[in-house]
């Protein structure tokens, strides 16, 4: 059987970022679960906002008319059986970098559904405040829940916790283990 391909999208722009560190743990988990992991730092890419021109709806085969760093990611999404979204909490929800990516998945829509339809999805969040409520992490979780329900993706699990300074999450062994377990679970899902 071919290994399941899991795309891990990290929407922090900073080096040694906490969400990136957890995402790397998820990569280890994916590999341990027999999957193939592809980590992409979307927070560093040039991804323009969806301009709502609807050209993708008029001509689905042509796809999105915006030519930027999103182009190769459409194919990566098609090829993946699972996707892990890792994002810092910015202003009480997911980062703008993550939202730009999600908006642009609008361009994939045909009789089979959307870009994430039928895929297994994991979510990783880091934030400064003391818990998922005070930080606004709940708003990001709720968005991912709604997105998955709408496009009929399977939300496998979410891992989230407090870490502020770049790299601080390395001291949280429990959280690192949870991220690893999430990767493993997404890779092993049937």
Ligand X SMILES: Cc1cc2nc3c(=O)[nH]c(=O)nc-3n(C[C@H](O)[C@H](O)[C@H](O)COP(=O)(O)O)c2cc1C
Residue numbers of the site for ligand X (CB under 6 A)?
12, 14, 17-20, 88-92, 126-129, 135-136, 163-164, 166
CB of 89 to ligand X, least distance (A): 4
Q: CA 61, CA 2: separation in Å to the nearest integer?
A: 27
Give 168's DSSP letter. G
Bridge partners (DSSP) listed for residue 90:
93
Q: How far apart are CA 122 and CA 115, in angstroms?
A: 15
Q: For ligand X, which is the closer residue by CB, 18 or 105?
A: 18
**Tokens 């283990």 map to which residue?**
177
Return the number of the residue (65 or 134) whose C-beta is nearest ligand X.
134
Helices (H), 59-153: 71-79, 96-104, 137-151
Q: Given the complex with ligand X, which of 58 and 91 has the nearer CB atom?
A: 91
User: Dihedral of CA 112/71/78/149: which sign?
Assistant: negative
CB of 182 to ligand X, least distance (A): 16
Least distance from C-beta 167 to ligand X, angstroms? 8
Token digits of residue 97: 């970098």
Least distance to ligand X, CB of residue 17, Å: 3
For residues 89 and 182, which CB has a smaller minimum distance to ligand X in the complex? Answer: 89
């Amino acid at each position: 059987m071919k290994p399941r391909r899991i795309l891990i999208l990290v929407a922090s722009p900073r080096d040694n970022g906490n969400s990136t560190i957890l995402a790397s743990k998820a990569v280890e988990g994916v590999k341990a679960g027999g999957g193939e992991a592809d980590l992409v730092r979307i927070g560093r890419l040039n991804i323009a906002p969806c301009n709502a021109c609807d050209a993708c709806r008029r001509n689905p085969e042509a796809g999105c008319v915006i030519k930027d760093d999103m182009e190769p990611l459409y194919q990566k999404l098609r090829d993946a059986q699972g996707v892990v979204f890792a994002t810092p909490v910015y202003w009480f929800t997911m980062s703008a970098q993550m939202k730009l990516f999600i908006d642009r998945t609008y361009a994939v829509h045909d009789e089979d559904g959307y870009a994430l339809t039928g895929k297994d999805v994991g979510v990783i969040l880091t934030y400064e405040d003391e818990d998922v409520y005070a930080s606004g992490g709940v708003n990001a979780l709720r968005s991912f829940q709604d997105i998955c329900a709408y496009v009929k993706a399977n939300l496998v699990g979410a891992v989230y916790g407090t870490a502020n300074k770049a790299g601080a999450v390395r001291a949280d062994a429990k959280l690192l283990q949870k991220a690893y377990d999430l990767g493993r679970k997404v890779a092993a899902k049937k």
